[in-house]
């Protein structure tokens, strides 16, 4: 995923995150801004996954230095809603993990909805809930 091709991901992003379980309200403008901002993040790495000529998914995020070494934050991971459950997401995670190991990354983290299909998907792929962390937010 690069500056030159990030706009190809906008409609897929909307298709995935404007549906269950997310029910968000992404427009072309806001989704494009979100993804372009992400590509501009320091230590960004992302890729697009194709089946033939069709974009079926992408993963995007960035590495961060911690006292334990490099960690990678999955900011966005999505697979076309019409073909979820067919192994594409798991293949994408495996490709990501292999690439990150080669880059010296020691761990991966992400945020997702709890107790739903997304959590089940990540747990099936070896991820676990970090009992030492709490997500907090404040509406303004």
67 has a pLDDT exceeding 90: yes
pLDDT attached to residue 83? 92
Q: Is the pLDDT of residue 25 over 90?
A: yes
Single pTM value for the model = 0.91
Instruction: State the Cα–Cα distance between residues 59 and 39, nearest whole angstrom.
Output: 11
Q: What pLDDT sits at residue 117? A: 87
pLDDT higher than threshold 90 for residue 56: yes
pLDDT of 18 above 90: yes
- Whether residue 58 contacts residue 76, with contact meaning beta carbons closer than 8 Å, is answered with yes
For the chain, the structural domain boundaries read 6-124
Report pLDDT digits (tens) over 90-114.
999 999 999 999 999 999 999 988 8
With 90 as the cut, is the pLDDT of residue 12 above it? yes
pLDDT for the residue numbered 20: 86
Q: What is the pLDDT of residue 15?
A: 95
Q: How many Å is the maximal CA-CA distance in the chain?
A: 44
pLDDT value at residue 137? 87
User: To which CATH superfamily is domain 6-124 assigned?
Assistant: Gcn5-related N-acetyltransferase (GNAT) (3.40.630.30)
49 C-beta neighbours (distance < 10 Å), count: 18
């Amino acid at each position: 995923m690069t500056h030159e091709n990030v706009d190809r991901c906008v409609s897929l992003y909307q298709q995935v995150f404007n549906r269950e379980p997310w029910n968000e309200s992404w427009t072309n403008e806001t989704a494009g801004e979100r993804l372009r901002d992400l590509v501009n993040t320091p230590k960004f790495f992302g890729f697009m996954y194709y089946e033939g000529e069709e974009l079926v998914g992408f993963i995007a995020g960035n590495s961060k230095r911690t006292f334990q070494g490099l960690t990678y934050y999955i900011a966005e991971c999505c697979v076309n809603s019409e073909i979820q459950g067919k192994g594409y997401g798991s293949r994408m995670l495996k490709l990501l993990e292999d690439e990150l190991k080669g880059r010296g990354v020691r761990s991966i983290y992400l945020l997702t909805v709890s107790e739903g299909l997304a959590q089940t998907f990540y747990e099936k792929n070896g991820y676990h809930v970090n009992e030492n962390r709490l997500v907090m937010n404040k509406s303004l």
